[in-house]
Structure 1
Amino acid sequence: MKKNINNIEVVDKENRPIGTMPQAEVHRQSLRHRSVVILIYDSEGKLYLQKRNAAKKLYAGRWSISASGHVFAGESCESAALRQLEFELGIKSGHLQLIRKIQASSETGYEFITVYALEKTNTVPSPNPDAVESGYFYTDSELEWLIKEYRELLTPTLVFLHDENVLFVK
């Protein structure tokens, strides 16, 4: 299957491809599709959160998970994760740890989410200003405080993954 960066795969309820469409159209119709989330932890176990660029169409200026993106048509989830990690944060990594696969639902924006982690990195993220305004490493307790006091400044994906106990494994 030829990769087309303008299209993503529409999938059925079992996550099997049934066609390709432009991302905006898939979102407009609330069709099931795939995305990836990459969680970056420093040597102290703190999670990197990014502040989205103010020009982003969705959730501009809000704090979000380390990196994320859609899986393009014909692309593997791991390739998409590595692509997003390099594009958003300038990190080139050959090894990601699969953390969890989350079923598509209205809470996920009808996305089958594959969550990866880049753990105990000594690499300092270099945010792409076209996508990311800034970033910071947070402890579990600091994130708990942000969610309690400033939930409206966070993306729904960050809050959802927190509520699903995906971000910090205890």
Structure 2
Amino acid sequence: MSELVEHVDEQDRVLGVVERGEAERRHWPHRIAATICRDRAGRILVLRRSGTRSRYPGSYDVMVGGAVNVGESYEEAAARELAEELGVRVPVRFMFKFLCREGISLVWLGVHEAVVTEPLTPDPGEIAWQGWLTEAELREVADRRPFVPGGREALRRYLRSESGPAAEKASPRRSADGGGDCDAIGVIPWNLLVVEKALRAGWAADTCSPDDLDRAGWQPDNPAWGHCDITALIVNDIFGGDLMVGEVHRGGEQQGFHWWNRLPSGVELDLTREQFRDGQTVTASRVVKRPPGPLPRRWEEYLLLRERVIEHLGHLPGPA
């Protein structure tokens, strides 16, 4: 039997389970999950599909993805496809979805974002070439090269949605400009790259943990030092999920605790692990429950870092 997908309607409600080939032949809407990847410098990954692929061989794309399996969420499918096609396991962030009427069939396309810092190991059966391009370079390529159906539209909507305070509301809405052959739903005003940049810009000596200041001081060349706890709290404010804690050890002695996040998808996200440069190790993690109300420690530093992040993002959800 061929690949099974969920046949959905034009409101993305499941109607039944069908073979993907049948859905395409009958132009029945089904779900596709895709991810736009950025590197630390903010460049976007561009791909050329293998010439042996059954769908759109040799076309360019800014998204890595494929069909959503039966019973699978968009986010789960996006993470799976990244691992299968690029060999990387990183957090993916749902950005928006749209009903795309281009191509061989109607599809609901769920677009995600990922910040990739590890080496890529692309599947040669899927990807013939890949490269990192700036937004300016990508706009030029997108105008001159054959792209997969919906690729340019997804890129246009992504660049608009990640532009910062201009996209402050996350409530479902129809595209304001009415362009393209698709309806946008659930644009997320923040993405991991933008949030990380805002946090890094806010880290300073006056938000560093006093215990870590006593150990080594704070230096601009290691800005994450002493910021794991309040950084994890702000990430939790924005994305939800769980707070994770492990013990920090060096030379056989414990030197405090390290905090990071587990996103609702189950992927762990640690934005401050880089601070450990002197042989420290972190023990196996455990989930800790966030206390309600003001924190017993580091409340003032947490509020100060939040204020600095708000200066970049425009607003934040209230403390969880």
Q: Which 5+ residue runs of structure 1 have no aligned equivalent?
A: none
Q: Does 1:96 align with 2:92?
A: yes
Aligned residues: 161
1:131 maps to which residue?
Answer: 126
**TM-score, length basis structure 2:** 0.47
Q: Distance in 2 between matches of 1:167 and 1:69?
A: 21
Q: Distance in 2 between matches of 1:147 and 1:51?
A: 12
Q: Distance in 1 between matches of 2:89 and 2:129?
A: 18
Q: Does 1:68 align with 2:68?
A: no
2:101 maps to which residue?
Answer: 106
- Out of 14, 18, 27, the residue aligned to residue 15 of structure 2 is 18
Larger strand proportion, structure 1 or 2? 1
Secondary structure, counterpart of 1:107 in structure 2: coil
**TM-score, length basis structure 1:** 0.86
Matched to 2:101, the amino acid is S
1:5-48 CA-partner distances (Å, limit 9, x unpaired): 82000012221111111111111111011111101100111111
* TM superposition outliers: structure 1 runs of 4+ over 4 Å: none
Q: Which 5+ residue runs of structure 2 have no aligned equivalent?
A: 164-320
Q: Distance in 1 between matches of 2:66 and 2:100?
A: 17
1:98-157 CA-partner distances (Å, limit 9, x unpaired): 11121x2423742111111112x2112211011111210111111111123x23x32223
Secondary structure, counterpart of 1:83 in structure 2: helix
Q: Distance in 2 between matches of 1:165 and 1:74?
A: 27
- Out of 31, 39, 43, the residue aligned to residue 42 of structure 1 is 39
1:115 maps to which residue?
Answer: 111
1:85 maps to which residue?
Answer: 82
Is contact 2:33-2:109 (8 Å) kept?
Answer: yes
Secondary structure, counterpart of 2:51 in structure 1: coil
Q: Distance in 2 between matches of 1:54 and 1:6?
A: 21
- Out of 134, 150, 161, the residue aligned to residue 154 of structure 2 is 161
Q: Distance in 2 between matches of 1:158 and 1:124?
A: 24
Matched to 1:37, the amino acid is A
- Over the matched positions of the two proteins, sequence identity in percent amounts to 24
Matched to 2:106, the amino acid is Y
- More relative contact order, 1 or 2 (CA 8 Å, 6+ apart): 1
Matched to 1:143, the amino acid is L
Q: Distance in 2 between matches of 1:129 and 1:32?
A: 29
Flag the structure with larger Rg.
2
